[in-house]
Amino acid sequence: MSKLKTFLVGKPLKSSDIHHEKLSVFRGLPILSSDAISSVAYAVEEILWVLIPVIGLASFKYLGYVTLAILGLLSILIFSYRQTINSYPKGGGSYIVSKENLGEIPSLVAGASLTIDYILTVAVSTTAGVAAITSAFPILLRFKLELTIIIILTMAIGNLRGIRDSAKIFSLPTYFFLVICIIMVGTGLFKYFILGIQPVPNPEITHQIGDLTIFLFLKAFSSGCSALTGIEAVSDGVANFKDPAPKHAKQVLYLMFLIVFIIFGGISYLATIYHAFPTLDKTVVSQIAEQVFGKGSLLFLVMQFSTTLILIMAANTAFSDFPLLLSFISKDGYAPRQFAKRGDRLSFSNGILFLSLAAIVLVIIFRGENHLLIPLYSVGVFISFTLSQSGMVVKWYKQKTNGWIHKAMINGIGATITFVTAIVVSINKFKDGAWIVFILVPAVILLMKRINRHYKKVAAQLSLDNNYFPQFNETEAKRFIVPVASLNEAVIKTINYAKCLSNDITAFHISTDDAETEKLKVKWEKHNIDIPLIIKKDEYRDVLNPLLKFIDSEEFASKKQDMITVVIPQFVTEKWWGNLLHNQTAVFMKRTLLKRKNIAVISVPFIIKQQKL
Amino acid sequence: MSKLKTFLVGKPLKSSDIHHEKLSVFRGLPILSSDAISSVAYAVEEILWVLIPVIGLASFKYLGYVTLAILGLLSILIFSYRQTINSYPKGGGSYIVSKENLGEIPSLVAGASLTIDYILTVAVSTTAGVAAITSAFPILLRFKLELTIIIILTMAIGNLRGIRDSAKIFSLPTYFFLVICIIMVGTGLFKYFILGIQPVPNPEITHQIGDLTIFLFLKAFSSGCSALTGIEAVSDGVANFKDPAPKHAKQVLYLMFLIVFIIFGGISYLATIYHAFPTLDKTVVSQIAEQVFGKGSLLFLVMQFSTTLILIMAANTAFSDFPLLLSFISKDGYAPRQFAKRGDRLSFSNGILFLSLAAIVLVIIFRGENHLLIPLYSVGVFISFTLSQSGMVVKWYKQKTNGWIHKAMINGIGATITFVTAIVVSINKFKDGAWIVFILVPAVILLMKRINRHYKKVAAQLSLDNNYFPQFNETEAKRFIVPVASLNEAVIKTINYAKCLSNDITAFHISTDDAETEKLKVKWEKHNIDIPLIIKKDEYRDVLNPLLKFIDSEEFASKKQDMITVVIPQFVTEKWWGNLLHNQTAVFMKRTLLKRKNIAVISVPFIIKQQKL
């Protein structure tokens, strides 16, 4: 087992091996913006999913307006996050900003929303990445789910090994995607406007059966908001930049805005002129690429391949950010403590395992269908946007530094708009799946509160301030009981060891089979074992309860406030499979005995040598 | 957890609660023959699966011949088993007969074949039972697999509770099935011969594309041999009969022959005149019942329902017989010892769990498809028939009692015929799935041999005949080490307990975080802990290896042949979920330390009180 682990995860690393390579703008941009940029792979498609069934061809007239509304929202967010970056040069995620400025419950709401979001980032990005592949190779559609799971597992292993985000190779996919997208937008426009090539009319697009109502517009807007997921990554990661970090972070923020503007706007415009039509089999981006570059052409394949790559990078940001967030929550005592420990390879292994497991479960439930997962996605994102912006408003109000009203206004507008968006998205996507988020977030918050209560209670019990320093009676502690099933080497070793610590040893045997008991008695005499052997019958073939009953009985007469000692011979097999061939009586016995606060258990190992299987 | 177990399985029973109610012929017949009788539910169908695709309508001309050949084989087996019953009044299963007369390897072959057979009995009978239901209610076809698994789990729980085979209610389904079958055969013949009703011609039956070759006949015969599974049950269960047991067992054997003859012959004949056509959706028996009783009629539904019931009874015989067989194999040291222990409810719980798990895996692999499972079934059955009959021949030869030649002849013919059948079935079904049996049987035998070797080795190591009675140095054993992460109530309790047993105690701290270590030092002084505190740094955030290194180091200087003692404070949470919130460091530490034969580990419990979740 441990060899397998080393093979997969690598050899342990020293604590001092942690080193934070600081990022330049050129290196930071691809790493922190891959999540936001990659969202264009599904956002335009999601808008069309809403419009086309109702208004048919007219969708392409209104797609632009929806896109503009979303880009408008994006620019407001950029202004708001600019201020967060200035105020939190060490990184200001929604959880931290809420905790500092809004208090416990808002920070838990942010924590819960972010937890669900990160899991969704992995699920949504990998399924979208697989969709980009299957659009090019429909033969792989059958293995959609398997492919998605394999990608998630590979990322989990990679991150357990501790791939650094900062690895140079990680910048390539984003720039590559950027370049190919710009080529596609340019070629698409050239073909349409200069060469005058008309797209093939798509017969599947239905006729208009309704009008563009404000309701439909808001619904399309809600769907498109999935384009805005991931933009908070820059403000989370300020600390990773070279000095002056806030300045570099802001430059990355502006560049990211520019890129999303060009790519999202460009693809949305291409969808309009090329009449792309969303289906479960072929993504909208792949349809555009097919028309622009030609069916089966090399550039088409390159486009699909690079879309998959940047989506995997996006999923990977969740793998590097979420375990870190969880370690903060864990250190604050709201998540199991195991999440705060770095593993052998210095990564937060438990967080990585939890994230990949949760994402896999989600992907299986939604049958690897990207389109079904997205409605769950935006709600949590906008809840945490709102909390983070509101936190900033409160911060300005409390600090009242120079120009605070102006700053509070900017974040206030951000908070209001994101809050309104959160409500719009929730209403529009509620029955498509957002309701799940409204069950999960409160459930997670409740769980975090309970965990916190538990840890507080434990800390109180362990605290030395209780001034409770129990003393134990030496004579009682030296009353040793050795449970014996039959007389063998292991028992002899146990008794001889026990004799070193005490001279008040009793052997205790539960008789479930008269013949066995008789054999034991004979051997006991033959080998002159000079400690008393107590034999009790049990009708339930149970070895534990009779022992506990004996300890509690008048015959043994121990006092509740004193410790007594049970000494157990424990078989230890050299190889893991040996355990399958032995009753784990010693282990069960120990587990049950230790539930009594006044019984200490000594395990005396007897190593069983094994041949190879 | 333990409450859930009690709810599902019931309260523990006393050993003395085992009581064997002896069976009369009337009560024994349904219990011991349900497996054999229920086989008719799929045997005729299996023959037609082979014939119809090749010779089309002509199949119904030859179905009778195949049926007669199988009934002929059955009569030979009845004669042979009659003698086994006489010789093994306490029950002569194939494993026992082989072990006594043929030696280790043949007995393991029998054991392995029977193991695979019993698992298949559960898988084949439950899938056939579900097929009987889905033939009546095609809407349930989608849930075929789920239904099968639910039935297996229900049987597992029932048998863990310890339903007695002998429960009166268990006789009903067999007699019920018998009656309804006879009614169906009678009505079917009456409608055809007296009323002259002609069956609707089935358009799906293809034209003849080949001839009935000897090869095709043997293949059909091999498929139909699934009708003979389960007939050895009577000779296994002789001991369950009222005195004179062998006499009653033989009467049951004859009656079983008569019933199989009537039902199998009758249904085969009905299939001939009503031109039933096997499909994966509708069983042959259901098609006959539909034609005889009328589509959707009450009697049709009763027929389907009672078929399901008797098939479940058949599967249930595996649940009562297999765990018993496994307990014999386990007592002989060829299977893990856990299989030889009776559980709380006096049933062999581990055997039951293993059987249901294995059957579920098999059912899932074969997608709940009865027709795909059957080719695996007969091979093992005929291997164990052959071994059991050969064992009897050897027994007669060795004993040379009165008339032994005559008796040896009968069993010899049985052995020869079943051996030939085993070969015929193996060849004909090899590529349909029987090859799996030829991989599994040797694999299981190898495993049993290895397990046996392990137990022998362990017994040798534990044997007192080695005359190795190690004595330990008292001073060394009293060298106690207490690993300490921080100073709290649990550590204080541990140290104070340790002081009762020794006055040579060292506290050992691994520093992974300087601030934590500093805090510990301050507290250590503040509370005047009067034992030395050794602090070691570790770069790998590992608490175990540094401790082992310290024990081995010159600084500590223990001698290999002596035991030393590590005392560990162990958190014990009151409720199971508490464990999820604490690093299980104590448990991991203990497990690793105990791999050293010279380290004893004392666990000192510290009970953590918990609120409700």
ipTM reported for the complex, 2 dp:
0.81
Q: Based on the domain organization, do A448 and A478 belong to the same domain? A: no
> Residue B12: what pLDDT?
76
Task: Look at B451 and A539 and tell me if their CB atoms are within 8 Å.
Answer: no
Contact A308, A130 (CB under 8 A): yes
CA distance A391 to chain B (A): 30
User: CA nearest B449 in A: which residue?
Assistant: A613
User: CA nearest B334 in A: which residue?
Assistant: A581
Contact A370, A124 (CB under 8 A): yes
Task: Look at B512 and A582 and tell me if their CB atoms are within 8 Å.
Answer: no
Q: Residue B519 sits in which domain range? A: 474-608
CB < 8 Å to A450, chain B: 613
Q: Based on the domain organization, do B374 and B429 belong to the same domain? A: yes
User: CA nearest B488 in A: which residue?
Assistant: A462
Residue A1 pLDDT > 60: no
Residue A613 pLDDT > 60: no
Q: Based on the domain organization, do A87 and A221 belong to the same domain? A: yes
User: CA nearest A611 in B: which residue?
Assistant: B454
Count other C-beta atoms under 10 Å from residue B478's C-beta: 18
User: CA nearest A578 in B: which residue?
Assistant: B454
* Residue A480, both tokens: 């040793």
Residue A277 pLDDT > 90: no
Beta bridge partners of A573: A608
What Cα–Cα distance (Å) separates residue A439 from each residue in A92, A442, A446, A478?
Answer: 27, 6, 11, 55
Q: Could you give the 3-state DSSP secondary structure of residue A297?
A: coil
Question: What value does the mean pLDDT take over residues A582-595?
Answer: 85
A61 in any annotated domain: yes
Q: By mean pLDDT, which of B131-135, B531-535, B542-546, B602-606 is the weakest?
A: B542-546
Of the two residues B439 and B90, the one the predictor is more confident about is B439
Which of B594, B598, B607 has the most A C-beta neighbours within 10 Å, making it the best mutation to test the interface with A? Answer: B594
Which of B6, B462, B481 has the most A C-beta neighbours within 10 Å, making it the best mutation to test the interface with A? Answer: B462
Mean per-residue pLDDT over chain A, rounded: 88
> Residue A439: what pLDDT?
94
CA distance B262 to chain A (A): 47
Question: What value does the mean pLDDT take over residues B563-592?
Answer: 85
* Residue A66, both tokens: 């929806």
CA distance B363 to chain A (A): 22
User: CA nearest A590 in B: which residue?
Assistant: B603
Q: Based on the domain organization, do A507 and A557 belong to the same domain? A: yes
Sheet with B564-573, side-by-side order of all strands: A533-537, A504-511, A479-483, A564-573, A599-608, B599-608, B564-573, B479-483, B504-511, B533-537
CA distance B433 to chain A (A): 26
CB < 8 Å to B517, chain A: none
CB < 8 Å to A482, chain B: none
Which of A341, A476, A489 has the most B C-beta neighbours within 10 Å, making it the best mutation to test the interface with B? Answer: A489
Count other C-beta atoms under 10 Å from residue B117's C-beta: 27
What letter represents residue B172's amino acid? L
Question: What value does the mean pLDDT take over residues A334-361?
Answer: 88
B468 in any annotated domain: no
CB < 8 Å to A570, chain B: 594
Residue B364 pLDDT > 80: yes
> Residue A305: what pLDDT?
93
B466 in any annotated domain: no
**DSSP conformation letters of A430-451:** GGGTHHHHHHHHHHHHHHHHHH
Task: Look at A488 and B606 and tell me if their CB atoms are within 8 Å.
Answer: no
CB < 8 Å to B565, chain A: 501, 602
Q: Based on the domain organization, do A447 and A479 belong to the same domain? A: no
CB < 8 Å to B464, chain A: 487-489, 492, 523, 527
User: CA nearest B598 in A: which residue?
Assistant: A605
Residue A212 pLDDT > 90: no
Which of A1, A11, A493, A501 has the most B C-beta neighbours within 10 Å, making it the best mutation to test the interface with B? Answer: A501
Distance from the first to the final alpha carbon of chain B: 15
Contact B45, B278 (CB under 8 A): yes
CA distance B563 to chain A (A): 7
Cα–Cα dist A341/B468, whole Å: 45
User: CA nearest A16 in B: which residue?
Assistant: B539
Q: Which residue is associated with the tokens 């299996």?
A: B46
User: CA nearest A562 in B: which residue?
Assistant: B497
Residue B19 pLDDT > 70: no
Of the two residues A541 and B39, the one the predictor is more confident about is B39
Q: Which residue, B392, B420, B455, sits at the end of a domain?
A: B455
Of the two residues B264 and B464, the one the predictor is more confident about is B264
B469 in any annotated domain: no
> Residue A63: what pLDDT?
92
Question: Which CATH number goes with the domain that contains A518?
Answer: 3.40.50
For A25-81, write each residue's pLDDT tens digit. 888 888 888 889 999 889 999 999 999 888 888 888 899 999 999 999 999 999 889
A230 in any annotated domain: yes
Task: Select from A337, A500, A596 the Cβ nearest to the Cβ of B477.
Answer: A500
Q: By mean pLDDT, which of A162-166, B57-61, B526-530 is the weakest?
A: A162-166
Contact B107, B99 (CB under 8 A): yes
> Residue B18: what pLDDT?
66
CB < 8 Å to B497, chain A: 472, 477, 563, 600
Task: Look at B497 and A600 and tell me if their CB atoms are within 8 Å.
Answer: yes
For A293-313, write each residue's pLDDT tens digit. 988 889 999 999 999 999 999
Residue A345 pLDDT > 80: no
CB < 8 Å to B489, chain A: 461-464, 466, 468
* Element of type H or E holding A536: strand A533-537
Q: Based on the domain organization, do B443 and B557 belong to the same domain? A: no
Task: Look at A341 and B13 and tell me if their CB atoms are within 8 Å.
Answer: no
For B144-172, write each residue's pLDDT tens digit. 999 999 999 999 988 888 765 556 677 88
> Residue B150: what pLDDT?
94
CA distance A581 to chain B (A): 5
> Residue A20: what pLDDT?
63
B8 in any annotated domain: no
Q: Based on the domain organization, do B134 and B172 belong to the same domain? A: yes
Q: By mean pLDDT, which of A185-199, B8-22, B136-150, B256-270 is the weakest?
A: B8-22
> Residue A542: what pLDDT?
79
CB < 8 Å to B16, chain A: 539
Task: Look at B540 and A496 and tell me if their CB atoms are within 8 Å.
Answer: no
Mean per-residue pLDDT over chain B, rounded: 88
Total domain count, chain B: 2
For A242-263, write each residue's pLDDT tens digit. 888 899 999 999 999 999 999 9
CB < 8 Å to B476, chain A: 500
User: CA nearest A18 in B: which residue?
Assistant: B539
CA distance A203 to chain B (A): 35
Which of A348, A456, A462, A583 has the most B C-beta neighbours within 10 Å, making it the best mutation to test the interface with B? Answer: A462
Residue A166 pLDDT > 60: no
Residue A561 pLDDT > 80: no
Confidence band of A348 (pLDDT split at 50, 70, 90): confident
Question: What value does the mean pLDDT take over residues B258-272?
Answer: 93
B227 in any annotated domain: yes
Question: Which CATH number goes with the domain that contains A61?
Answer: 1.20.1740.10
**DSSP letter (8 states) at residue A197:** P
- pTM for this predicted structure: 0.79
Of the two residues B202 and B176, the one the predictor is more confident about is B176
Count other C-beta atoms under 10 Å from residue B551's C-beta: 20
For B112-142, write each residue's pLDDT tens digit. 999 999 999 999 999 999 999 999 998 888 8
CB < 8 Å to A613, chain B: 450
Q: Based on the domain organization, do B420 and B491 belong to the same domain? A: no
B7 in any annotated domain: no
Query: How large is the greatest C-alpha to C-alpha distance in chain B, in angstroms?
Result: 106
What Cα–Cα distance (Å) separates residue B545 from each residue in B112, B551, B566, B573?
Answer: 44, 10, 14, 26
> Residue A321: what pLDDT?
87
Residue B62 pLDDT > 60: yes
Question: What value does the mean pLDDT take over residues A595-609?
Answer: 91
Q: Based on the domain organization, do B242 and B333 belong to the same domain? A: yes
Task: Look at B572 and A580 and tell me if their CB atoms are within 8 Å.
Answer: no
* Element of type H or E holding A493: helix A489-501
Question: What value does the mean pLDDT take over residues B352-367?
Answer: 94
For B481-527, write each residue's pLDDT tens digit. 999 988 999 999 999 999 999 999 999 999 988 888 999 999 999 98
Q: Which residue, A422, A453, A484, sits at the end of a domain?
A: A453
CA distance A598 to chain B (A): 8
Count other C-beta atoms under 10 Å from residue B334's C-beta: 25
Task: Look at A477 and B613 and tell me if their CB atoms are within 8 Å.
Answer: no
CB < 8 Å to B609, chain A: 457, 461
Q: Which residue, A453, A487, A519, sits at the end of a domain?
A: A453
Q: Based on the domain organization, do A414 and A510 belong to the same domain? A: no
Q: Based on the domain organization, do B411 and B508 belong to the same domain? A: no
pLDDT above 70 covers what percent of chain A? Answer: 96
Size of interface A-B (CB pairs under 8 A): 198
CB < 8 Å to A540, chain B: 12-15, 344
Task: Look at A608 and B341 and tell me if their CB atoms are within 8 Å.
Answer: no
Q: Based on the domain organization, do A187 and A235 belong to the same domain? A: yes
Phi-psi region of B508 (alpha: psi -120 to 50; beta: other; left: phi over 0): beta
